[in-house]
Structure 1
Amino acid sequence: MSTDKRRDDSAPGCWQAILALALLLYLGVVPLGVTFLAERARSLVPAPGLLHAAALLITGGLLLTPAGVLLWLVHDRPAWRPLGSVAAAAALLTGYLLLDGLVRAAFLESTKPVLHGEGADAAAVRLALLLPYLWLAAGGAPRLVGLPAPRRRRAWLGLGRPDAALVLIALAIAALLTLPWPLTGALGDSITTLSILFQTLAAVLPNVLLLWGILFRLLTATFTRPWLAALTTISLAMLTASAAALPTADWQALADAVYLFPLAFLLTELRARGRTVYPLLPVAFLYRAMPLIFVDPRDALAQGIPEPEHILAHTVVLVTAALLGPVLWGGRWLWLSLRDRPSIPPAARLAAAGLAALILWALWGGGYLVFGEVGFANDGFLIIMEEQADLSDIAAIPDREERLQAAYDALVETAERTQPPIRAELNGLGVPYRPYYLINMIRVDGHRWLMPRFAKRPGVAQVLLNPNVREYPHRIPIPYTDGESPAEPLPPNLAAIHADEAWSLGVTGEGVVVAGQDTGYDWTHPALQPHYRGWDGITATHDYNWHDAWDDTAVPFDDDSHGTHTMGIVLGDDGLGHTIGVAPGARWMGCRNMRRGFGNPAAYTECMEFFLAPYPHGGDPFSDGDVRYAPHVINNSWGCPDFEGCRPDTLRPAVEALRAAGIMMVVSVGNDGPA
């Protein structure tokens, strides 16, 4: 009997390691596998909520069953306690993943980029669910592996007495890790920024308390080799990050897991140096929050990839984190290996750590103030008036200039008559604004919390959010081919529409002025400069020919190259045999309605308003507009999606007003679909 007992309690290290590794692999594969199958079954289950619930239940059953079996098998077998701690960690982590997945399923917006502050309610629910769960888990974790019940759960959560010097070291590390973001990014709306910070806290705090509080304490209490406990903690952190794909098929979680791997190593090293998780919190929080608040999420939404400078920033942060973890671990190992370690007074250690934190955060703040884009790019809103100008009789006017003037006068009169009460109230509040007449509306800059106030005013039809677009301090331009190309008889795109046949009939666009509103225009481009209405071959006159709805620049420029490209398609021709435009005989004028490729309803309207009655730089569109400079055609190779603030009918009044005035609007239908 005693022989059997010894055989049962013996724990061959190899078998225990194999079973623990198998359980960890299983823990990583099951959530992703269930999510993949649930995504494939989406067409069979019309109700997403039912599918998400089923995915969570199946995942819970598949994960808790083997963990429970292992806990039962190793119960009262102290030699198998390390394997039991891995099984207990798997069980506790499963509960965490199910609750977290429940929040993502109930609040689908929490799985999407935060554009305008949404998702804070999901973060509050996440904290309300996970923090009590972690409190219970801290009390139950030691019991699962046969350890004494904790007298203080705070200790198992890693919330004991903090090491002030280590916290300061962590703050210094956080400053060093996040330094690229204030140098390459820019803050968005202040309310949205606060929402992102709260949501990041709701994600980071429970994660740190579970992994580096409860589970790290559990593993180090049962493993004989501390490095194995640390390695297991890192593995569990990676599995937790990747399992965030459950149940909504948010596969971005896999990329996040790769990005968080160096952080997991670094946090584990910081945890090994102290008894609490306090040093980990600022590092984990700022590591995850900084790219979210300094990078516009629309960059990836619209273009699929971040801007080059942010790819570089991500790389620098990733490499820095990957180096810091091993450096700190190696330094600690060397220090502990010294036989005669010098005694460092606590006060000296605290002072050195404080000085390091002060220097690095001063560098962070100084870099932001000197080289960064300081301040918030706050979202504003539009006050749309109920009364819009009646232009029903304008189309009957035969003379083009008289028709344009009649439209301009009617639009301005309506705006001047109906807007004064709203303008007076805004003046009284000291709020900056800009009135428009093409659509009878007022753009309010920032102060979006005033939206409900003006929505109730008499004469106001609706109030819409007008999202701002942040300006990055140091953009890395994407290189475009700018070399000489041989002259072609006719480019294939022009041949496809038989442009040469129209030219042979004398239809080249001569006498027509085409206006373009886009990311801007490189007016000195050889294919565009000869056709710019403001260029006479010697001098340039940009008044009445160029307007910048974002930065009010006096000279045309293009910050994204797209506008230059589109105008080239319209009329590009350098006179040396490089004809790339459909109407090489036309002239052009331009307006910048986008910043970094993003616009908003106000900017789009402002450019259309400028085209109806162009005005000089710095002029008043209500009094200085001159319809004699209005174009015949407006080219629009852009769209206004909902994340830019547009609804399907937001810009309709502006388009209809231009059409009534006799200006033709040409709009692209997109870049996809059948040819």
Structure 2
Amino acid sequence: MSYAPNRSPTPSSNQTSAGCLLAALAVLVVSLCGVVTLIVAAVPLFNAAGAGIIAMLAASAVFALLFLVALAITRAPRMRAALHAWLLALPLTWVMIPAALLPSSEAQIAAGMRVVLMAAYLGALWVYVRRYTPATGITNGWVLAIGAAALLALPWLAWGALGSLLDLLLGLIAAVLFGTAAALLVARVYLRPLPDDPDGPGLFVGGTVIGVLLLVLGWNIGVGGQMLLLLPLLPTLGWLAGAVAGVGRGQTTDSRALLLFVALAVAPPLLFADPDTLHIELLEQGREGIAWALSATGLGTLLALALSGVAPVLRQPVIRAPRVGIAGAATLWLTGIVVYVSIGQPGLYGDRLFVILKDQADLSAAASIEDYQVRRRAVYETLVRHADVIQADLRSDLTRFGVWHRPYYLMNAMEVEGSLLMRLWLTTRPEVDRVVPNPVLRPLPEPLAVEEGSLPAPDEPLWNLTMINAGRVWEEVGVRGKGVVVGLMDSGVQWDHPELRDSYRGLQLDGSVTHEYNWYDPWGNAAEPLDYNGHGTFTLSAVVGNRVGVAPDATWIACVNLGRNVGNAARYLDCMQFMLAPFPPDGDPLRDGDPARGADITNNSWGCPQDLEGCDPNTLLPAAEALRAAGMMTIAAAGNDGPACSSLNAPLALYDAVVTVGAVDRSGVIAPFSSIGPVMSDGSGRIKPDIAAPGVDVLAAAPGSSYVTGSGTSIAAPHVTGVVALMWSAQPALIGDVARTEEILRTTAQPVTPEGAVLAPCSGSDQAAALAIRYGAGIVDAYRAVRAARAI
């Protein structure tokens, strides 16, 4: 490589044309990147599986065509070298597709696959580019690289949180592989010695090429939503990377410094942004914590741009006085460590595993027990005994190895802390049926603000209560839900909301409050009821609210299974166990549960999708069937993934053991978002939902003792929960008789006619089936259901 610091030739016309072409290409690439980013970000909102990959492939094909056309047009050697480097970077996007196709709940497997695929690409790249003479020199640029990377890492150290040791290792390896690929393409392809351009490009042009190269190379290396965090950052690193490596006329290019800087710059988003929940958080538009990740990316981008102008000035002093540079870089990293320890979220927050055992308890004998409370006690004791026996060896081995674990009884299962190696070991155990992911939320920099409503309390009958004839039950039958306990499993609840305070079971006659046996928070261990995002307050008020509820005199207890609106199998099971047999704070569910204090009916306005939260279709099936065997009524929202056929596909809604509820508007037409059957995810072809209820623009309570309107099957399900509470209050002999209660709900539902319905094409020309997979038996009718219950 020619090194002539005192030479300043006039750029040729070819070089000038190349610079113009380069600028045009850069604008096109950035524009395409923005469009594709919007497409990829919007794709999950439309539930189009794989459409993000298709969009990415289409855009990369456009890039390839664009680069090839430019290669055919330009004759400038350095520009041709840049296009060559970009074309060699594109295949990594295609190579990474298998990892990108894995669901976010399998983020660790995807991260491991990412490392393997990147290593394969890097090996092939090395074989190809080794024939070129590298443009490299040994300097002290690594000092500047470390210092610059320290500044870029500061936002992530302050706001992010690390995963497990394996997550950390896989992320670091991926960052190093990425940095190595970038350094090879820059030093061996783009900046290789060329007779017609001995001095190489200037920093602006060279940095632009490197920025585009990083964008093309890193387009698909993120897991989950990490890609959308990397896309705005990568192109802005080009000028800073070029300055760190000494790109510019008359300067030696330090490929080692380039490798180190790129690796350190892309590592923080890979390490500190949680891929398990990032995808869900992106869907929630920032409500669940994505705001800090976007802020870290934005601040990092601004810092990279600002440092791009300072780094060329600092480079020569740092190289000439390395000790000063080392001291400065060390100071910056020490500052980062202080930030991380003081205001960050220090520690490792790895995921856990949900282990389902083969031998599930036989509860068939419970069906012959007529007394409801005796049956509940028998089911609880049978389940606990079975779990103690079958899990004994596995519990013993995990304890001996020092592995944290939590046993469950409602279904024979365990939650185990561990990563891929632990998962592999567990699958070899003879008593284990399968192991599914159990993604755990990493902590946020600060608690999320709970959105409060802005509407006043209603002063007239609500349309949704009128539609289901709840008012007629109160006035003509004189039943309002007294004597029935409703269990809420959701995001929590504002217990002292005017709609809910009077019906909380923890409120004593003397005005004192006891939360023991009435409240459980397995996510945050809160001592008294609170609502993490408002969803629970909203749904519960539609069941028991004084003004907005179907059964205002029923009492309620609650459990948090949605931390930041994200759950997993273990947290869902925690609450299901609490509803069957509540236990005191710090109590053992297997030893201290009291079935006599449990809920009679539970409302479940949630689902556990396999791609996001790890539940396969049958993950919670034994638990749902156990609750039914105990005589508990489980009401589940159908989900909001409609109108596609068979969009009802996640626990609990798909189970025959629960009553599944779809949503209709005030005209009685099924909502387009309401998930429908037939259920195909478990291969059953089961017709779901079972029934429909109001779920569009429904007024209900919100945190801050306020009110809000909302839509979703989440608010439809509480209407049916309230109707069952009215039925059981009107006819206590019906309590625990789940099958007969379901039959009454079906036979008394308001029929839906084809003329006033939205028909689903999923059943061909069969009109009755088309109605059933949309509406179930029809729209719930409280008055007719209560009258039928009383007539028993």
Q: TM-score range by the shorter chain?
A: 0.7 to 0.9
- Provide the secondary structure at the position in 2 that maps to 1:554: coil
Q: Identity of counterpart residues, as a percentage?
A: 31
Shift of 1:111: 10
Q: Is the CA contact (8 Å cut-off) linking 1:23 and 1:87 kept in structure 2?
A: no
Deviations 1:276-307 (A, max 9, x none): 03333343223322123212224442242442
Trace 1:367-406 onto structure 2 (pairs within 5 A): 367-406=339-378
Give, in whole Å, the separation in 2 of the partners of 1:56 and 1:315: 24
Shift of 1:593: 1.7
Shift of 1:666: 0.7
Counterpart of 1:264 in structure 2 is 238
Give, in whole Å, the separation in 2 of the partners of 1:346 and 1:169: 9
Give, in whole Å, the separation in 1 of the partners of 2:187 and 2:138: 15
Q: Is the CA contact (8 Å cut-off) linking 2:183 and 2:256 kept in structure 1?
A: no
Counterpart of 1:591 in structure 2 is 559
Does 2:516 match 1:547?
no
With over 3 angstroms needed to count, the CA separation of the structure-2 counterparts of 1:15 and 1:595, relative to structure 1, is closer
- Provide the secondary structure at the position in 1 that maps to 2:311: helix
Flag the structure with higher helix content: 1
Counterpart of 1:89 in structure 2 is 82
The one-letter code matched in structure 2 to 1:319 is L
Q: Is the CA contact (8 Å cut-off) linking 2:99 and 2:110 kept in structure 1?
A: no
Counterpart of 1:497 in structure 2 is 468
Shift of 1:17: 5.0
Trace 1:50-199 onto structure 2 (pairs within 5 A): 63-64=67-68, 66-68=70-72, 70-71=74-75, 83-97=76-90, 99-105=91-97, 108-109=100-101, 115-134=107-126, 136-137=128-129, 139-140=131-132, 150=133, 153=134, 156=135, 158=136, 160-163=137-140, 166-199=141-174
Counterpart of 1:639 in structure 2 is 607
With over 3 angstroms needed to count, the CA separation of the structure-2 counterparts of 1:162 and 1:501, relative to structure 1, is farther
Shift of 1:245: 6.3
Q: Is the CA contact (8 Å cut-off) linking 1:637 and 1:668 kept in structure 2?
A: yes
The one-letter code matched in structure 2 to 1:630 is G
Shift of 1:659: 0.6
With over 3 angstroms needed to count, the CA separation of the structure-2 counterparts of 1:175 and 1:530, relative to structure 1, is farther
2:385 to 406, 413, 416: 413
With over 3 angstroms needed to count, the CA separation of the structure-2 counterparts of 1:128 and 1:16, relative to structure 1, is closer
Deviations 1:198-219 (A, max 9, x none): 2333333212432366424568
With over 3 angstroms needed to count, the CA separation of the structure-2 counterparts of 1:479 and 1:246, relative to structure 1, is closer
Trace 1:621-660 onto structure 2 (pairs within 5 A): 621-642=589-610, 643-660=612-629
With over 3 angstroms needed to count, the CA separation of the structure-2 counterparts of 1:500 and 1:47, relative to structure 1, is closer
Counterpart of 2:273 in structure 1 is 295
The one-letter code matched in structure 2 to 1:563 is G
Shift of 1:522: 2.6
2:301 to 303, 318, 322: 318
With over 3 angstroms needed to count, the CA separation of the structure-2 counterparts of 1:110 and 1:534, relative to structure 1, is closer
- Provide the secondary structure at the position in 2 that maps to 1:388: coil
Q: Is the CA contact (8 Å cut-off) linking 2:211 and 2:236 kept in structure 1?
A: no
Counterpart of 2:703 in structure 1 is none
The one-letter code matched in structure 2 to 1:284 is V
Shift of 1:369: 2.0
With over 3 angstroms needed to count, the CA separation of the structure-2 counterparts of 1:67 and 1:483, relative to structure 1, is closer
Counterpart of 1:201 in structure 2 is 176
Q: Is the CA contact (8 Å cut-off) linking 1:212 and 1:271 kept in structure 2?
A: no
Give, in whole Å, the separation in 1 of the partners of 2:388 and 2:194: 72
Deviations 1:561-612 (A, max 9, x none): 3222222232233xxxxx2223222211111123222222111112111111
Counterpart of 1:146 in structure 2 is none
Shift of 1:30: 9.4
Shift of 1:420: 1.8
Trace 1:242-281 onto structure 2 (pairs within 5 A): 256-272=230-246, 275-281=253-259
Q: Is the CA contact (8 Å cut-off) linking 1:101 and 1:247 kept in structure 2?
A: yes
Does 2:264 match 1:286?
yes
- Provide the secondary structure at the position in 2 that maps to 1:266: helix
- Provide the secondary structure at the position in 1 that maps to 2:592: coil
Q: Is the CA contact (8 Å cut-off) linking 1:569 and 1:581 kept in structure 2?
A: yes
Q: Which shifted more, 382-391 or 209-218? A: 209-218
Q: Is the CA contact (8 Å cut-off) linking 1:116 and 1:189 kept in structure 2?
A: no
Q: Is the CA contact (8 Å cut-off) linking 1:27 and 1:90 kept in structure 2?
A: no
With over 3 angstroms needed to count, the CA separation of the structure-2 counterparts of 1:220 and 1:514, relative to structure 1, is farther
Give, in whole Å, the separation in 2 of the partners of 1:182 and 1:257: 20
Give, in whole Å, the separation in 1 of the partners of 2:318 and 2:457: 75
Deviations 1:460-499 (A, max 9, x none): 3333333332222424x34523456153313344344343
The one-letter code matched in structure 2 to 1:180 is P
With over 3 angstroms needed to count, the CA separation of the structure-2 counterparts of 1:672 and 1:459, relative to structure 1, is closer
- Provide the secondary structure at the position in 1 that maps to 2:540: helix
Deviations 1:514-554 (A, max 9, x none): 11112222323333222211122622211111112234333
Shift of 1:167: 2.0
The one-letter code matched in structure 1 to 2:338 is G
Larger Rg: 1
Give, in whole Å, the separation in 2 of the partners of 1:31 and 1:302: 22
Q: Is the CA contact (8 Å cut-off) linking 1:92 and 1:137 kept in structure 2?
A: no
The one-letter code matched in structure 1 to 2:269 is P
Shift of 1:266: 1.6
1:210 to 169, 185, 192: 185
Give, in whole Å, the separation in 2 of the partners of 1:351 and 1:566: 63
Give, in whole Å, the separation in 2 of the partners of 1:621 and 1:397: 23
Unaligned runs of 5+ in 1: 1-8, 41-45, 72-82, 141-149, 337-343, 574-578
With over 3 angstroms needed to count, the CA separation of the structure-2 counterparts of 1:526 and 1:183, relative to structure 1, is farther
Shift of 1:663: 0.6
Q: Which shifted more, 291-300 or 176-185? A: 291-300
Give, in whole Å, the separation in 1 of the partners of 2:95 and 2:225: 17
With over 3 angstroms needed to count, the CA separation of the structure-2 counterparts of 1:119 and 1:459, relative to structure 1, is closer
Figure out how many residues of one structure are paired with residues of the other and give that number.
612
The one-letter code matched in structure 1 to 2:293 is H
Q: Please, what is the CA RMSD of the aligned residues?
A: 4.0
- Provide the secondary structure at the position in 2 that maps to 1:500: helix
- Provide the secondary structure at the position in 2 that maps to 1:373: coil
Q: Is the CA contact (8 Å cut-off) linking 2:105 and 2:437 kept in structure 1?
A: no
Give, in whole Å, the separation in 1 of the partners of 2:337 and 2:179: 24
Deviations 1:49-84 (A, max 9, x none): 99999998897576436524644xxxxxxxxxxx23
With over 3 angstroms needed to count, the CA separation of the structure-2 counterparts of 1:33 and 1:302, relative to structure 1, is closer
The one-letter code matched in structure 1 to 2:465 is L
Counterpart of 2:482 in structure 1 is 510
Counterpart of 1:487 in structure 2 is 458
- Provide the secondary structure at the position in 2 that maps to 1:268: helix
Trace 1:421-432 onto structure 2 (pairs within 5 A): 421-432=393-404
Does 2:527 match 1:558?
no
Give, in whole Å, the separation in 2 of the partners of 1:346 and 1:483: 60
Shift of 1:106: 5.7
Q: Is the CA contact (8 Å cut-off) linking 2:138 and 2:254 kept in structure 1?
A: yes
Give, in whole Å, the separation in 2 of the partners of 1:551 and 1:10: 66
The one-letter code matched in structure 2 to 1:280 is L
With over 3 angstroms needed to count, the CA separation of the structure-2 counterparts of 1:398 and 1:50, relative to structure 1, is closer
